[in-house]
Structure 1
Amino acid sequence: MNKILKLWNLIKSKFLYLLLILSVIPRLLYANKLYPADMIFIVLVIVQFILTYMQFNTMKYSKKKALIFLAFCMALSVILLLLNSNNNFILFYYFFILDNVFEFDSRETRRALIFCHMSGFMLYLLVDNILINKIPFYTDVSSYVFCSFVYIMVLFVYICIHEYRYEMNNLKMLNCSLIDYSFKEREHLVLNERNRISQELHDSLGHSLMALSMNVKYIKAIKDREKINHEINELESLISKSIQSLRETVYNLRKLDENFSLHNEITSIISKFNKLNIIKITLNYDNNIEKSSIAIKNILISTIKESITNSLKHGNSAKIFISIKLIRNTIKLIIKDNGDGCSCIIKSEGLAGIENRFKTFNGTINFITSPNKGFTITASIPEVIIDDKSNDS
C-alpha cells in the first residue's frame, strides 16, 4: 500500500497535466474551425495547467498559497465543465484533484475544501441539466441521486486511503520518537558514567591533596630529623597512591571511549529503524574511521540520527544510503534518501546544528535536493584526530 501511495504521489501531477492536454486535443485535431468558444476553452485550460503547476510547486513550502491555487483550480474546473459538459477528461481531472485536498493537515481546511468541491460538482449538474440541456429537475431525479452516490463513493475511497496514510505517518512519528528517546537514554547513561568517574577522581584526589597539604605543614613545624624522614616516607606513599588513583581514573575514562565503536553504534541505529519495516537503510563503512577521535565520532553519530529522523518525518523516504569513508586523512560522509525532496531548503534547527558541528572541526557540508529527487547530505572533515593510545608514564 505504501509503495502504491508513493508511486501515485510521484505521477499524480503528470497525470493531471496529461488529462488537461487530452481535454483540448479533440478541439485542435478534429475541429474544422476554432470558434470563439473553443478559443476561450483552450485559453482556460492553459490557465488551469499553470494553476495546477503552481499548486503542486507551492505545496512543499507554503500551504497557504497552495490552498489558494487549489481553490482556483476547483472553480475553474467547474467553468470548464460548463463550457464543455461532454469532456470526460475535465471531469476526471475534477475528481482526481480532490486528492490534493487531503494534503492539508488541518481538518477544518479539508472539510471546507470538500464542501466547496462537492458544491461545485452539484452546481455543474444542476446548471448543465436545467439551464443548458433544459431538463426539468423533477424528471431526472434518479440521475442526480446516482451522481451523488458516485461522488460519495469516490470521496469515501479518498478518505479511507488518506486516513490509512495519516495513521501510518502517526505510527512512524511515534516509532521515531521512541527510537530518539532510546538514543537520549544511552547518552544519559554514558554521561552518568562519566560523572561517576569524575566524582571518584574528585573525591580520591581531592582527599589525597588535602592530606598532602596537612603533612607538609606538619613537617615544617617539627624539629626531629627522624620524624621528618618518617613523614617524608608517608608523603611518598600518599603521592604514589594518588598517582595510582589518577591513572586508574584516566584508564576508566579511556576505556569508556575505547569501548565506543562507531560501526556498532551506527549498526544499532540502522537495526532499530529497519525493524520498523517502514524504511530500508544500507551502510557502506570504512573501518579506518574507528581511529578518529571520540569527538568526531559523536558528530557523525548525531548527523546520522538527525538525517534519518528528517528523512522519515519530512521526506517520506523508503530507502536511505549511508556511506562513511576515510580518504587521505579526510572523512567523507554521504547520506542519501529517496524521499520527496523539495525545491527550497529551509534550514531547520536540526540542519543548522549539523552544519555548525562540522564547522567546529573545519569541516564542510552540503545539502542537495530537488522535488521528487530525494535529499542528500555530503560532508567532510579534513583533519582526523587520532586517539593517543600510549600508556601514561
Structure 2
Amino acid sequence: MRKYSSTRGRLLFCRIMEIVALNTILPHILKGHEVLNTYTSFLLSLCLILVLNNIFRYKYLKDYRNKTYYLSYGLSVVIIGYFNYYMKNPGTDIYFILTLIEVMIVNRDIKTRLVTFHFIIYLISNLYKIDLFDSKAFISSLVNVALNYGSFFLIIFLFRTVVNERNKVLDLNQELLAKNLTLNEYSEIIKQLTLEQERTRIAQELHDSIGHSLIALKMNIEYAENILDKDPEKAKTAITKAKQVSKESMNSLREVVSILRKDNYVDKLRISINEIFNNFKESNSIEFTLHMDEEVEKVSPDIKNCIYKTIREAVTNGIKHGNATNFIIEINKKDNNISLLVQNNGLPCSNIIKSTGLKGIESRIKALGGNVSFISGEIKNFTISANIPNV
C-alpha cells in the first residue's frame, strides 16, 4: 500500500500487469499458426502499436488535459476492445481493468468522458455474448456485462478512495512536519529576541540605578571637598553619606544581576521616592518637592515600579545634563488614569535627543499602555509629563 500510494508505485504496478496481460494475449494469437499469416501479422502489429502507444503516453503525455493524451488513451482502449471482441481472453480483461485504473487512480482526477468511452468500448466488445434476436437473453446478457463492469469499477473506485485518503494523510504529515520546522525556527528567533530584550533590560537597569547612585556620590564628594576647610563636620557628614550611597549602589548592582530571576517591585512608593531625595540631602544643593495622591499607593506594582524608575532617571538626568537644583514632582490619580509630572529648573534643551535614560522611560511607560512627553523651556526648566492607564 505504501508503494502503491505513490505515482511511481502505481505506474510500476500497471507496467507489470501489462506484461502479464500481453503474455496471455500473445500465445492466443500464435496458437494454431505454424507460420505467420496476414491476420496473425495484423494482430501482432496491433500488439506492438498498443505497447508503443502506452509507453509513449506514460512517458511523454504527463498533462492529462492534453488532447493528444485523449487520442492515445482512446487508441489503446479501441485496440483492447478489438482483441476482446475477437479473442475473448483473460489478458484483455486485465488490460481493460488497467486502462480504467489509469483514469481513476493513476491520474489525480477522474475523467468522466474517458470512463464513459471506456465503458462503451467494453460493452461493444462483449456483444458477441448477446443474442440480439432474443430480447430476454439480450437484456439478461446486457445486465451481466454491466454488472461485471460495475463490480470492478466499484472495486477500483473504493481502492482509489483508500489511496486518496492515504495521500491526504501523507500530505498532512508533510505539512505538519514543515510547520513544525517553521515553528522551531520561529522559536529560535523568539529565543534570540528574548535574550536581546533581556540584555537591553539589564543594560537599562544598570544605567538607571548605578547611574543615579554615581551622580549622588559625585555630588556628595564634591560638596565635602568644597567645605572641608570651612566646616569639617559637614564635610564628614557628606563623606558618610557618600559611603552610604556607595554601599547602596553595590546593593543595586546585585539586584540588577538577579533581574533575570524576578523584578524588584516598589512596595511603598512615597518611601522609595524619598530615598532618592535622601541621596542628595547632605549636599544641601538640591531641593525636592513632592505632591503625591495617596491613592497611587493602591495601584499595581508594575505602575509604581515604572513611576519610581521614571523619577529616579529624571533626577539623574536633570542633575547630570541640566545642572538642575530644584525638582517638583506631582503624582495624581484620577478615575482610571495616573498622571506624573517631573519638572526641574535645569538648562534648556533646544533639540531633545533621547538618551538611553529617556528611551528607558519611554519604553517602560509605553509597555503599560501609557504615553510620555519631554518638554524643554526656552530659558530654563525641563519637564517630563506622563499618563499611565490604571486598568
Question: Higher Cα Rg: structure 1 or 2?
Answer: 2
> TM-score scaled to structure 2, two decimals?
0.48
TM-score by length of 1: 0.48
